[in-house]
Structure 1
């Protein structure tokens, strides 16, 4: 008997392994990772973890894996999946049999062709090793260039400014945070970065990037150039689907799974950043989410389904980002919304509620200092899950308790 084999030793894979034990599974569990570290959390890499530059924030210590009977293979890239023999083949020549296989292979940073390989001056930020190399450059007097105005680029910019590094951030689109974040909130974030000294340049196209031992020069389409000591490319992530594709599994913006996280092979499941799945709250629209909460939720769910539970995904997408003393939180997906109403809170914080033309709440986006928006975003998440159609006037009024709308 092969037991359960998990390819991908990140947040999702580790959570699934422990959840299997918590649910009473007593067979063998093997967790295989390509990195030299035990599973660790990635969000701190662009935030406090980058400032402190300590050991990764591990999901669990080595002793806990041992006590739970979970075998962890680090620094062990997988070569192929043999679905007929139900065997995982490793690069080093070894192989591991499975009864059920879980793919939590995650995603990798997108690169600009011809710029990252071969130059220590140009980096991406995805792993602890990446973070360690970038951290060495984040000192006063150095100049960092960032390409990409998404969460990773902006969080890195905030961290770098806190360490005294000069920052110029280049975004090709008309504004930052164009993917899933309302313009009203993106404006607040951009203004805060500029106040902190970040040179934010939107709607800026790049013609060429040159790098040598002395630094990086970014030649812009408008004829200007940006000189920096080093460059970080933060233009999103691509799902790691190569193993799945080579094994003949269906792929559609990630490893395609059904609502139970089962792939086109009944004995193989996928979860986390690497997979796309139908989301019931949005008409079974297929989505792929790169989010810490999603990795945790799907890790627990897929453990149940590996044991035959056949439970479906019901969680609402949730994202967050910390930049300076601001926290941005989003619940749901605003695509398809026709109305947005605003609730103002204390100290300049606010939440935007996004509704469709039937009045159903699709998403809520909030920003403020600390955790001021957290409670209302959590309640909005519950309203979305329940398919509620709250009165927009009630959403606008800070006096109206969202919990009351949930009970209505």
Structure 2
């Protein structure tokens, strides 16, 4: 009797899990069920090239559709999953059909969070291709753009809008931009970058409402009686993870779907990967839940192998990048875990983030992938380099990696 592995979620983690199952030797049926009409595609271009490039680019698929066909990977597109029965090992689809499975992967990702203020439903969101196309159309004629939220998505949209010639204001509730991802030094670098490119960045302010004006523009009220008008308002205020299916099924959920080092949940035969998974990380001694391009891919690969019977513990060093105003900023590890930051210099921005005991726990660098590669190795080695040598830009980071 044929074995069937079902993947719920046709994003990056789900796509890579499916392919890695085949690469690991799984010969049974692989079925990927996704709510979007598209095959799995890259999300990073949505806030950059998809908004600005001419001619308008199409979706960038992770794999050629012919590869899925050749490997016998099936897709159900535009299909929600309504119910998960872990005892009976089956799922119920939006059209009422019931599908049995032998092993199941929840790679459900999330949706862009709505702006929860009066009028907030009119703020555009960005998470999917369809949302990117709608935003592109609006930005084409916009003179004034307000981005609510100074996380990665909000700031990338702000940079794209500036590249299109719009006046851009960014409103952020936290005291610094990208506060979930970078140190104070990294936040200062990002703020100065946007200031140099003419973005008005206001941190520590709360948006109160959006009010439609007579000319169909929006008046964005914030702070203590302040306001700014915009032709386009975009909300980049985080992601709501798709956890409802896991919660309904009684899986252990703690901010994310709790999994072991192989991606298996509290229910045998049910796995989770990518944005929704809360996994144990040996370097940081606790569970992490990450939202990044590489984590979605590599965790999907690792969990797919585990589902195919070739498990390898997942211990990737966290890493992500962002492109803003022509600058490529990369972050490895967890800079926000640091007790101290050492700036290398003079020259391009590179920050090394150290724990209380001197271990390297994060690295942030602008336009310097070599420093990121070396820094990642330092993190993985739990290295404790001399801070004076870290600060000296003439000392290659690679030379400080323990041998």
TM-score by length of 1: 0.93
1:79 corresponds, among 82, 85, 98, to 82
Shift, 1:398, TM fit? 2.1
Alpha-carbon distance in structure 1 between the residues aligned to 2:81 and 2:117:
26
Checking the alignment, whether the CA contact within 8 Å between 1:169 and 1:201 is kept in structure 2 is yes
Instruction: Report the counterpart of residue 325 of structure 1 in structure 2.
Output: 326
Cα RMSD after superposing both structures: 1.7
Unaligned runs of 5+ in 2: none
Checking the alignment, whether the CA contact within 8 Å between 1:106 and 1:273 is kept in structure 2 is yes
Alpha-carbon distance in structure 1 between the residues aligned to 2:85 and 2:369:
45
Alpha-carbon distance in structure 2 between the residues aligned to 1:224 and 1:339:
36
Alpha-carbon displacement from aligned partner over 1:133-175 (angstroms, at most 9, x marks no partner): 0001113552111100110000000011111122111111222
Alpha-carbon distance in structure 2 between the residues aligned to 1:262 and 1:352:
35
Alpha-carbon distance in structure 2 between the residues aligned to 1:4 and 1:219:
50
Checking the alignment, whether the CA contact within 8 Å between 2:350 and 2:365 is kept in structure 1 is yes
SS of corresponding position for 1:293? helix
Instruction: Report the counterpart of residue 39 of structure 1 in structure 2.
Output: 40
Matched, 1:295 2:296: yes
Instruction: Report the counterpart of residue 393 of structure 2 in structure 1.
Output: 398
Moved more, 180-189 or 228-237: 180-189
Number of aligned residue pairs: give it: 399
Instruction: Report the counterpart of residue 272 of structure 2 in structure 1.
Output: 270
Alpha-carbon distance in structure 2 between the residues aligned to 1:2 and 1:80:
21
Alpha-carbon displacement from aligned partner over 1:334-359 (angstroms, at most 9, x marks no partner): 344222211126xx412111112222
Shift, 1:2, TM fit? 4.5
Within a 5 Å distance, the mapping from 1:87-106 to structure 2 comes to 87-106=90-109
Instruction: Report the counterpart of residue 169 of structure 1 in structure 2.
Output: 170
Instruction: Report the counterpart of residue 67 of structure 2 in structure 1.
Output: 64
Alpha-carbon distance in structure 1 between the residues aligned to 2:332 and 2:95:
43
Alpha-carbon distance in structure 2 between the residues aligned to 1:289 and 1:220:
30
Alpha-carbon spacing, 1:66–1:132, altered in 2? closer, same or farther (3 Å)? same
SS of corresponding position for 2:52? helix
Alpha-carbon spacing, 1:276–1:2, altered in 2? closer, same or farther (3 Å)? same
Alpha-carbon distance in structure 2 between the residues aligned to 1:14 and 1:338:
37
1:374 corresponds, among 369, 372, 387, to 369
Checking the alignment, whether the CA contact within 8 Å between 1:140 and 1:164 is kept in structure 2 is no
Checking the alignment, whether the CA contact within 8 Å between 1:280 and 1:313 is kept in structure 2 is no
1:387 corresponds, among 365, 373, 382, to 382
Alpha-carbon distance in structure 2 between the residues aligned to 1:397 and 1:34:
51
Shift, 1:188, TM fit? 2.3
Alpha-carbon distance in structure 2 between the residues aligned to 1:100 and 1:24:
15
Checking the alignment, whether the CA contact within 8 Å between 1:240 and 1:254 is kept in structure 2 is no
SS of corresponding position for 1:314? coil
Shift, 1:211, TM fit? 3.3
Alpha-carbon distance in structure 2 between the residues aligned to 1:302 and 1:81:
19
